[in-house]
Amino acid sequence: MRFFSSASARMALLASVVSSAAVQAGNSTYYNPVLPGWHSDPSCTQVDGTFFCVTSTFISFPGLPVYASKDLVNWKLISHAWNRESQLPGISWNTTGQQQGMYAATIRYRDERFYVICEYLGTPRGDIGVLFKSDDPFSDEAWSDPVTFPVEKIDPDLFWDDDGKTYVATQGIILQEIDLETGEVSQPPISLWNGTGGVWPEGPHLYKKDGWYYLMIAEGGTQMDHSITIARSRNLTGPYEAYENNPILTNRGTDEYFQTVGHGDLFQDANGNWWGMALATRSGPEFEIYPMGREAVLFPVTWEEGEWPVLQPVRGKMSGWALPPTNRDIPGDGPFNSDPDVYDFAEGTAIPRNLVYWRVPRDGAFSVTSKGLQIIPSRNNLTGTPYSTTTPELSGQQGLSFIGRRQTDTLFSFSVDLTFAPRQVGQEAGVTVFLTQVNHIDLGVVLLTKSSNSTCASRRRREAKTHLALRFRAEGLPESRTVGVPEEWLDGPIRLHIETANATHYNLAAAPAADPYARILVGTASAGLMSGGNGSFVGSLVGAYATCNGAGAGVVCPEGGEAYLTRWRYSGAGQYISETEVV
């Protein structure tokens, strides 16, 4: 059986994509999404020829990734605006919902300083506005503790008027003046525009151009009716006149592969050409299987003096303004979003910056040791008991020992070598495709009680009452599948694989690291389990976990059961840009 796709073919394709996006005399061709994988609500700006974008992260941590690019196609992860517990003490663990946390942000630059304004949903005090500042967006540490501000509605924009006053516009669409030092906002909010009648007028961004204030918003909700509409006024506070050709961007009512297009931001390149980024879902009109959720797409914009902007419809293959020349010379030690992971976790190295957790991890849960990346198990398994307030140690709120990276390709291969010597029944470590605590597909190595009919115990464990098993299970699938770990695998690490069988299915497999060809396919699951439902705002992550499945007390597992990861590999094997085309 062969379910590895050809990595070398992928590399050749990548090379051709890169060269077609390179310097050209006329307009350029490129492929969407430019920021593939779970990247919703992009907001972007350009400073001295470098583009900066931020996207939503909900309860994953670190949150609010900042990506930088010089060519609009190669996006490097340069920092996270929310990167330390001390920036918002206690907030992460006190957030119950799977889709609360850091909602849509706006990134702006003014007077040598970067600002990321956002809202954190679901604290015990309700939702709070957060404003992070930095003089160096290439550094995590340089992002300030946030100035917090009271909020009524989500999706804050940040806008400076010519008189230097600063405003925040939010869903509704309403406007308030904001004090950037204290977070004080003016009351009452001023209603600017209610949109053209679609539900949820939100995601506002204000721009001033040619004597007009332009108010661009998202409407119709973030699913199949999503759209971008615009209005303008000579005065900031209105009245705003809606454009007669609204919506200016949408794929609703079409049979396009890219659906849910909306919630965008506009910016200029160094040559003065306008561009926009928005979110889109590669779901096709069926809207059934789209595990990567909402991704970030780039579109050219024509915006002539005194006129309304014209946004080019979002497709997989785009043609528009000449892209800036290909240039990956960007500071910082984060990876480019579309690059493969090749991580060996050598002692003394840092945990790679594109790996994220589900809420703030417990102190010491993840560390790079001489044996690889050590994961101290959590009492919570990946499901825990979400939304429980009575047993918070099993809600995942006080730490879930999970670490993962975005699925950034329709087709991919992920594997990691696991060294794991559990001592107690129920101790487990493995790999997972994870959307939320109620949507995940797992392949764990777990110590189980040996049942009388068990045929899988090893000779050396023949007298033992336990046996080590490979257990495949998925939230949403009624049955799990358990296969004994063959005896000859027990001496070294086990290589666990997650691969796409095709655009709609994942295969989860295992092999002894020493003999990769002895691979066993343990389970197959539909990516439909990872699409929408309880995880409609988020996108799939692939990664590893360790748990004692609720044993122990408080937040501590019984002794043993640490997992050690080495040879972490992720590589893309194909991007669908339409129902039938793969690049």
Q: Per-residue x/- marks for ligand NAG, 229-248, CB under 6 A?
A: -----xx-------------
Smallest distance, ligand NAG to C-beta of residue 294, A: 18
| 362 in contact with ligand NAG (CB under 6 A) | no
Site for ligand NAG in 285-314 (CB under 6 A): 300, 302, 312
- The pair of three-digit structure tokens given for residue 260, joined into one six-digit string: 């849910």
Smallest distance, ligand NAG to C-beta of residue 262, A: 19
* Phi, psi at 19, each rounded to 5°: -70, -35
Q: Note whether 447 and 427 are within 8 A (CB).
A: yes
- The pair of three-digit structure tokens given for residue 513, joined into one six-digit string: 């690291």
- The pair of three-digit structure tokens given for residue 533, joined into one six-digit string: 């439902």
Does the annotation mark 179 as catalytic?
no
| 564 in contact with ligand NAG (CB under 6 A) | no
Which residue, 197 or 253, is less far from ligand NAG as judged by CB? Answer: 197
Which residue, 136 or 579, is less far from ligand NAG as judged by CB? Answer: 579
In angstroms, the CA 94 to CA 397 distance is 7
Which residue, 202 or 417, is less far from ligand NAG as judged by CB? Answer: 202
Q: Note whether 129 and 148 are within 8 A (CB).
A: yes
Q: Given the residues 71, 155, 157, 202, select the one marked as catalytic.
A: 202
Q: Exactly one of 175, 368, 394, 400 binds ligand NAG (CB under 6 A); which one?
A: 394
Q: Exactly one of 381, 407, 540, 566 binds ligand NAG (CB under 6 A); which one?
A: 381
- Report which DSSP code applies to 522: E
Which residue, 140 or 442, is less far from ligand NAG as judged by CB? Answer: 442
Q: Per-residue x/- marks for ligand NAG, 78-117, CB under 6 A?
A: -----------xxx--x-----------------------
| 186 in contact with ligand NAG (CB under 6 A) | no
| 524 in contact with ligand NAG (CB under 6 A) | yes
Q: How far is CA 300 from the centre of its chain?
A: 24
Q: Exactly one of 329, 453, 517, 554 binds ligand NAG (CB under 6 A); which one?
A: 453
In angstroms, the CA 294 to CA 280 distance is 5
Stretch in the footprint of ligand NAG (CB under 6 A) among 9-17, 186-194, 283-291, 339-347: 186-194
- Report which DSSP code applies to 533: G
Q: Exactly one of 247, 276, 320, 523 binds ligand NAG (CB under 6 A); which one?
A: 320
Q: What is the largest CA-CA distance in the chain?
A: 83
Q: Note whether 88 and 130 are within 8 A (CB).
A: yes
Beta bridge partners of 492: none
Element housing 250 (H / E): strand 249-250
449, amino acid identity: T
Closest Cα to residue 291, out of 435, 420, 428? 435
Q: Exactly one of 550, 560, 567, 578 binds ligand NAG (CB under 6 A); which one?
A: 550
* Phi, psi at 528, each rounded to 5°: -60, -30
| 383 in contact with ligand NAG (CB under 6 A) | yes
Which residue, 549 or 571, is less far from ligand NAG as judged by CB? Answer: 549
* Interstrand relation of 439-449 and 428-436 (parallel, antiparallel or unpaired): antiparallel
| 193 in contact with ligand NAG (CB under 6 A) | yes
Which residue, 394 or 542, is less far from ligand NAG as judged by CB? Answer: 394
Smallest distance, ligand NAG to C-beta of residue 520, A: 15
3-state secondary structure labels for all residues of 374-431: EECCECCCCCCCCCCCCCHHHCCCCCCCEEEEECCCCEEEEEEEEEECCCCCCCEEEE
Does the annotation mark 579 as catalytic?
no
Sign of the CA dihedral running 25, 26, 31, 35: positive
- The pair of three-digit structure tokens given for residue 475, joined into one six-digit string: 């939230």
3-state secondary structure labels for all residues of 157-190: EEEECCCCCEEEEECCCEEEEECCCCCCECCCCE
CA-angle at 369, arms to 368 and 370, nearest 5°:
135
Closest Cα to residue 402, out of 362, 438, 369, 372? 362
In angstroms, the CA 53 to CA 264 distance is 11
Which residue, 94 or 196, is less far from ligand NAG as judged by CB? Answer: 94
Element housing 235 (H / E): none
Q: Exactly one of 8, 124, 463, 517 binds ligand NAG (CB under 6 A); which one?
A: 124
Which residue, 192 or 538, is less far from ligand NAG as judged by CB? Answer: 192
Number of residues counted as binding ligand NAG (CB under 6 A): 36
Closest Cα to residue 263, out of 302, 221, 318, 214? 221
Closest Cα to residue 443, out of 429, 456, 455? 429
Q: Per-residue x/- marks for ligand NAG, 13-32, CB under 6 A?
A: -------------xx-----
- Whether cis (ω within 30° of 0) applies to the bond prior to 188 is yes
Q: Per-residue x/- marks for ligand NAG, 484-503, CB under 6 A?
A: -----------------xx-
Smallest distance, ligand NAG to C-beta of residue 335, A: 29
Beta bridge partners of 416: 496
Which residue, 53 or 88, is less far from ligand NAG as judged by CB? Answer: 88
Smallest distance, ligand NAG to C-beta of residue 83, A: 18
| 534 in contact with ligand NAG (CB under 6 A) | yes
Smallest distance, ligand NAG to C-beta of residue 479, A: 11
Smallest distance, ligand NAG to C-beta of residue 502, A: 4
Smallest distance, ligand NAG to C-beta of residue 215, A: 10
| 67 in contact with ligand NAG (CB under 6 A) | no
- The pair of three-digit structure tokens given for residue 251, joined into one six-digit string: 């794929």
Count Cα neighbours of 515 within 13 Å in the Cβ-side half-sphere: 10
- The pair of three-digit structure tokens given for residue 159, joined into one six-digit string: 């806008």
Which residue, 87 or 504, is less far from ligand NAG as judged by CB? Answer: 504
Which residue, 96 or 337, is less far from ligand NAG as judged by CB? Answer: 96
Residues with catalytic function: 41, 202
Chain residues binding ligand NAG by CB under 6 A are 26-27, 89-91, 94, 124, 191-194, 234-235, 300, 302, 312, 320-321, 381, 383, 386-387, 394, 438, 451, 453, 473, 501-502, 504-505, 524, 533-534, 549-550
